[in-house]
Amino acid sequence: MTFVTKARAAAAVLAAAVMSSVCAQTAEEKIAALTGGKEARVGVAWIAGGRAHTAGNDGCYPLMSVFKLHGATALLRQMERSGTPVDTMIRIERRLMTEDTYTPMLERHEEDCFEISLDSLIHYSVSESDNNACDMIIAMAGGIEGVNAEMQAIGLTDFRLSETEGSMQADPVRSYNNCSTPLSVATLFRKLYEEDILGGPYAAMLKSALTSTVTGPDKIKAALAPGMTLAHKTGTGFTMPDGTKTADNDAGVITLPDGRRIYIAVLITDTRLGNKANAALIAEIAGTVIADEQRADK
């Protein structure tokens, strides 16, 4: 064997070893490599096949609009207990709403007073991330205290809620007060789909709203292959004077073509990456998780 032949053989062995090492990486290790060195703090959690996985799950990440899922769940639990129908009509007075905020609901209703159904209010808050709809839901649920009580009743832990959309708009720093571990968010989705925290039409309404989410097409949704579906809630933070964005989030349930579900939460905080890079990172993380779960089933 010539020196050149030996060198080529050694190179081939080294390449095979490198490939084997890459293939042997866990999804958690791959995600750590993706997020390492980034100008952001990234937390990821997913639950699949009865197993929970995390990367950067320590600490409390600002939820931003992801907490609209907590609020909607709380109100619907109360409505179910009281027997209030999902199509109950709700009167809204514009003078009590905040005009200078993200509110598709007010853009479509120019009247001083108007009525919409409960399911429409949930849709505005969850699917379209309307801030006025969110704060109405919180108020109807008994305030933030009422939302916290319902979350505690279903056994959710490792989260903290004390703010409304209105209070966060008034002082963006307060958005850090509504926070959670990624695993807690993924757990809330699992409870919605696998436990009886909501029944019948109330669960169906919330799942429909999550499936109809229009925000974040470049986040988790961008990682889906044909035949996969997503029900999710996004959250977008404030850009502070120094250019740091408080949060950029996406969380939900991915249903694979064979019916298996992945409950996933990707929460990014204190990021200086930029909106497109944040979204691309979330999509890449979701793609890594999907590939790992599909490979694990083979």
What tens digit of pLDDT does each residue of 233-255 get? 999 999 999 999 999 999 999 99
Q: For 147-181, what is each residue's pLDDT tens digit? A: 999 999 999 999 999 999 999 999 999 999 999 99
- Is the dihedral angle over the CA atoms 192, 214, 136, 122 positive or is it negative? negative
pLDDT at position 9 over 90: no
pLDDT at 241: 94
pLDDT digits (tens, 9 = 90+) for 199-219: 999 999 999 999 999 999 999
Phi then psi for 232, rounded to 5 degrees?
Answer: -155, 170
> What is the C-alpha to C-alpha distance for residues 61 and 188, in angstroms, rounded to an integer?
15
Q: pLDDT tier at 296 (50, 70, 90 boundaries)? A: confident
8 band by pLDDT with thresholds 50, 70 and 90 = low
| Residues recognised as catalytic | 65
With b meaning 16 or more CB within 10 Å and e meaning fewer, what string describes 180-196?
A: bbbbbbbbbbbbbeeee
Residue 41 confidence class, pLDDT cut points 50, 70, 90: very high
- Mean pLDDT computed over 74-98: 96
CA distance 54 to 288: 13
pLDDT at 23: 53
Q: How far is 230 from 37, CA to CA, in rounded Å?
A: 29
Which one is predicted more confidently, 86 or 2? Answer: 86
CA nearest 282: which of 66, 22, 52? 66
pLDDT at 298: 60
Q: Model confidence at 42, in pLDDT bands (50, 70, 90)?
A: very high
pLDDT tens, 174-200?
999 999 999 999 999 999 999 999 999
CB 106 within 8 A of CB 49: no
Calpha distance 254→271 (Å, rounded):
25
d(CA 146, CA 267): 25
Confidence band of 6 (pLDDT split at 50, 70, 90):
very low
The reported pLDDT for the residue numbered 37 is 92
Instruction: Output the pTM of the full model.
Output: 0.90
